[in-house]
Structure 1
Amino acid sequence: MMLIISFCVMIMTLLVILMTMIFFIFKKKKMKLNKMSPFECGFNSMTSKRMPFSIHFFSICMLFLIFDIEVIIIMPMIMSMKFSMMKYWMMTSISLLMILVLGLYHEWKNGMLKWTK
Structure 2
Amino acid sequence: MNLMSMLIFSFILALALFIINLFMPNKPDINKLSPYECGFDPFADARTPMSIQFFLVAILFILFDLEIALLLPIPWSMNTNPPNMTMSMTTALLVLLTLGLAYEWSQGGLEWAE
TM-score by length of 2: 0.57
Distance 1:37 1:100 in 2: 37
How big is the shift at 1:65? 0.5
Query: 1:100 maps to which residue?
Result: 97
Query: 1:114 maps to which residue?
Result: 111
1:71 pairs with one of 68, 91, 111: 68
How big is the shift at 1:106? 0.7
Distance 1:75 1:111 in 2: 30
Q: Mapping of 1:18-33 within 5 angstroms? A: none
Query: 2:49 maps to which residue?
Result: 52
Distance 1:101 1:37, change over 3 A: closer
Distance 1:60 1:103 in 2: 13
Q: Deviations over 1:20-53 (max 9, x none)?
A: xxxxxxxxxxxxxxxx96128xxxx333344201
The structure whose Rg is larger is 1
Distance 1:92 1:74 in 2: 10
User: What is the Cα-based RMSD across aligned positions, in Å?
Assistant: 2.3
Q: Is the 8 A contact 2:104 2:110 kept in 1?
A: yes
Distance 1:49 1:101 in 2: 36
Query: 2:78 maps to which residue?
Result: 81
Q: Which residues of structure 2 form unaligned runs of 5+?
A: 1-33
Q: Which has the higher contact order (CA 8 A, sep 6+)?
A: 2
Q: Deviations over 1:54-109 (max 9, x none)?
A: 33432332122111100110001233112210121121111111101110111111
Distance 1:37 1:50, change over 3 A: closer
TM-score by length of 1: 0.56
